């Protein structure tokens, strides 16, 4: 999949989709080695990607937008339903 680029008009690097996938895995707690293996890159490549802070931040933001936004919404919905059901103790644990 080819990424169209960034809103600033700057073209995204060819590896951006892999960076987004790796960023998602890193946010879930994967090591650089494990995330790199999952996207077909080495641990050193992940270290280099993470060192490019502007691009890595964009990859993390894109991963968050794609996959974690819905998770946050689902968690909020579950919390609200638990509160409405009258289980305040469980709501506090959630």
* 46-70: average pLDDT: 93
Q: What is the pLDDT of residues 30-52, one digit of tens each?
A: 999 999 999 999 999 999 999 99
Give pLDDT, residue 6: 72
Residue extents of the structural domains in the chain: 16-93
Is the Cα dihedral 40, 45, 46, 50 positive or negative? negative
Give pLDDT, residue 91: 64
Mean pLDDT of the chain: 86
In this prediction the pTM is: 0.71
Say if residue 93 is exposed, middle or buried (CB neighbours under 10 Å; 0-12, 13-18, 19+): exposed
Helix (H) or strand (E) holding 41: none
Q: Which residues contact 94 (CB under 8 A, 6 or more apart)?
A: 75, 78, 79, 82
């Amino acid at each position: 999949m080819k990424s169209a680029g960034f809103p600033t008009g700057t073209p995204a690097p060819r590896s951006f989709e892999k960076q987004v996938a790796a960023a998602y895995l890193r946010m879930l707690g994967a090591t650089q080695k494990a995330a790199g293996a999952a996207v077909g890159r080495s641990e050193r490549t992940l270290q280099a990607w993470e060192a490019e802070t502007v691009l890595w931040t964009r990859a993390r933001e894109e991963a968050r937008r794609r996959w974690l936004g819905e998770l946050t919404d689902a968690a909020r919905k579950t919390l609200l339903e638990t509160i409405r059901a009258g289980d305040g103790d469980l709501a506090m644990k959630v």
